[in-house]
Chains A and B, each alone.
Chain A
Amino acid sequence: MKNILVILKKEYLTRIKNKSFIIMTFVGPILMVAFYAGAIYFATQGAEDNRTQTIYFSSKRDYVRPSESTFTFDKFLFIKTDQPRDTILASIKNETADAWLNIQDEDLRTLDSTELISNGALSLSQNSALEGFIKDEIRQKILQNQGINKATLDSAEVLGGINKLEVADSGNTESSATGIKSGVGFAMALIIYMFIFIYGSMVMRSAMEEKTNRIVEVIVSSVKPFELMMGKILGVALVGLTQFLAWIILSVALISGASTVLKIGANSIPAGMNTSTGMAPPAGLSAPSGGLELISQLNSLPYWEIGIIFILFFLGGYLLYSSIFAAIGSAVNQDTDVQQFMMPVSLPLVFGFIIAQSVVFQAPHGKLAKIFSMIPLTSPVVMAVRAPFGVPISEIIASFLLLALTFILMVWLSAKIYRIGILSYGKKPTWKDFVKWIRQS
């Protein structure tokens, strides 16, 4: 036990003192935010094609914009044409036009004989935009035929949205926080997922380094391999927790700093304006101010439960995976051999993360969610995603017990592999060797 502490201390201190750790602690969060902001920005903006698409338009019955020979919709320019089919196809081929929308149906209620012929450059979203547009036009035509004009139709549009409320523990209603819950759940799953990978591979690298540097033989003449492995795993876990703590303190400081700035900004608004907007929302309805709503939603989250689930499954998941990674690190002799073993081992984790993403947006308490939050290799990530939605305590206990049992079993097996692996040099190990080593010790 004392040896584990000595090793833990060394693993912890050498990492904490490392420059890259200090840099990562301060720059990491900024990089993360920038990365996600960038990804979201490009996903929403960058992918769009700004070029106007020229669409030839033919129709057996001229009911779409009968008075116009060309018209535009979104980024499409429609040109009505009655040229023969071959001519049109040729001009699509030589890219004079991008596509040809050819409505051949006599009956308004169907588009079965209608075709959209393109040079293959139309995207999925452009295709559905075109189809939606044409259906809208036809719907209007049908309504017109029944004597309903556009103005009547527009006046039938329902405005605004439903206020989504939840009954809180106090019995009062408050605005529903599904969005926030999804966000928090997803963030926790992401953190656990990344942490396991980053720090798990740190454990593996450390085991491998000691082996290839030949330090390990000296060390195991002083301590048991199990102590070395556990000291390493726990030391690295502590490094990760330290980094988290630093990040939390940093972001709290940043947020409180930012809100101080905001408050000063709010106070400088002329008093009259402030009261007039303050009076605006009718009594009984939730405040329309986005910030206020966000804060009240954040306050409604079951923090204790979320926090406990996060820590339990975060540690459980990390310990489970890092003990596997440690065994791999002890067995291989060089970097290039690592991949072969990492792939199958990390697959369940990646799978769990994919499940987590669908769980959070669809059914946090559905069958899929329940099953995968029980399986130990995926439960850390999937349970984290469910946590903000409130998971029954029995499920949490059952899932954690399973995780803990698997962790103990895995540490036991890994220690056996580790014990022999660290002293086995030469040929690249195989899965068969792993089994042999487990049996041997």
Chain B
Amino acid sequence: MIRVQNLYKYYEEVCINDNISLEIKEGSIFGLLGPNGAGKTTLMRMLSTVTTPDRGEIYFQDQLLSNKHIPFIGYMPEERGLYRKMSVVDQLLYFAELKGLKRSQAKEQVKYWLKRLEIIDWAEKKMEELSKGMAQKIQFISTILHQPKFLILDEPFSGFDPVNADLVKDLIIELKKQGTTILFSTHRMDNVEELCDRLAIIHKGKKVLDGSIHEVRRSYFNHEYDILFNGNEIPSELPTWATLQKTSNSEFGYLKARIHLTEPSKTQDLISWAHETHQMIGFQENVPTMHQIFVDKVTQA
């Protein structure tokens, strides 16, 4: 659906995007991660045709991205705003028309979404009369009114209250089911693990990681296991192919031992060993969370 190839963008001789390549599959959700100032917004602006790359190409369904793709793209920037003096309906119709929707089509869509998000009673009100939560809903509607094939959301959960953030999350899932391809940036790892099929981490303009959630997390698996024991100490001597990383007290007073296998193939042997102590009450792989991987990647680089 979207292919980014060796993209460069400079701002006053500083490289904001440095040789970025990505591929986003049709109907998938792609998470763009990175600390503040990593160049996520710059990349999203290029994907939404707001700016153009200095070098490299972006392909939209195997065609070079150009202005003719504008009607198929929806973009919600991180910094949001609406016309305060305009009514909700006029505002939404205006945005829809700018995206090339016919007036009648636009009206239909506006009505549908206002009903759907239960703000139809406020349709004729001016924006300045609306609460912030309602304005956020309108903002989101304005992004998806024209039924974009590719939706770009810059920090969609920031600035939204928890109720609206959940609403946005549900809508993202719903749109995905309808076949929309979605790219969003976020700082919240829980959202990434919950929603994204694939993700990329950008740091200082460079892509430092790219892949599906499972692939990435798997690839960071360091053959560590957490074993819960009844009691205060590890009941018997560890096998030679295993080392103790650390112990901690888990809830309910159990002992949690993190054990690293020096021989990765010995997983079953470790289970047998723990079983034979007659003290084991839990056994789990320790696969790093996205949060750990993110912090690791960003502090390392």
Contacts and interface: CB of A to CB of B under 8 A. Distances in A.
| Chains A and B are bound partners | yes
Interface stretch (B31-39, B69-77, B275-283): B69-77
Contact of A213 (B76, B82, B100): B82
A222 B142 contact: no
A354 interface: no
Contacts of A213: 81-84
A436 B13 CA distance: 12
A218 B67 contact: no
Interface string B185-221: 0000000000000000000000000000000000000
B156 to A, nearest CB: 14
Contacts of B45: 217, 423
Given A6-B98, A10-B94, A217 B50 contact: yes
Contacts of B113: none
B51 interface: yes
Contact of B77 (A7, A217, A224): A217
Interface string B255-294: 0000000000000000000000000000000000000000
A223 interface: yes
A7 B99 CA distance: 12
A221 B75 contact: yes
Nearest to B70: A222
A7 to B, nearest CB: 8
Nearest to A422: B50
Interface in A194-215: 213-215
A220 interface: yes
Contacts of A2: 100
A308 to B, nearest CB: 35
B26 interface: no
B237 interface: no
Nearest to B139: A218
A144 interface: no
Contact of A14 (B49, B67, B85, B142): B85
Interface in A390-441: 423, 425, 436
Nearest to B73: A221
A334 interface: no
Interface residues of B, number: 29
B60 interface: no
Contact size class for A? 20 to 34
A219 interface: yes
B86 interface: yes
For the residues of B in contact with A, the DSSP-based class is loop
Contacts of A220: 50
B214 to A, nearest CB: 32
A221 B50 contact: yes
A163 B26 CA distance: 87
Nearest to B77: A217
A218 B142 contact: yes
Contacts of B80: 214, 218
Interface in A215-255: 215, 217-224
A52 interface: no
B81 A215 contact: yes
Contacts of B143: 218
B83 A218 contact: no
B180 interface: no
A432 B143 CA distance: 36
Contacts of B94: 6, 10
A69 B79 CA distance: 86
Interface in A1-36: 2-3, 6-7, 10, 14
B98 A3 contact: yes
A221 B48 contact: yes
Contacts of A223: 70, 98
Contacts of B49: 221
Interface in B89-133: 90, 94-95, 97-100
A441 B76 CA distance: 24
B30 to A, nearest CB: 18
Contact of B97 (A6, A214, A217, A218): A6
A218 B75 contact: yes
A221 B70 contact: yes
Nearest to A436: B12
A217 B85 contact: no
Contacts of A214: 77, 79-81
Nearest to B86: A14
A436 B10 CA distance: 14
Nearest to B41: A217
Contacts of A436: 12
15 contacts: A3-B98, A6-B97, A14-B86, A213-B82, A214-B80, A217-B45, A217-B75, A218-B77, A221-B48, A221-B75, A222-B98, A222-B99, A223-B70, A423-B51, A425-B79
6 nearest CB pairs, A to B: A214-B81, A213-B81, A222-B98, A221-B75, A214-B79, A217-B77
Given A2-B100, A213-B81, A221-B50, 17 more contacts: A6-B94, A14-B83, A14-B90, A213-B82, A214-B77, A214-B79, A214-B81, A215-B81, A215-B82, A217-B75, A217-B79, A218-B77, A221-B48, A222-B95, A222-B98, A224-B67, A436-B12
Interface of A: 2-3, 6-7, 10, 14, 213-215, 217-224, 423, 425, 436
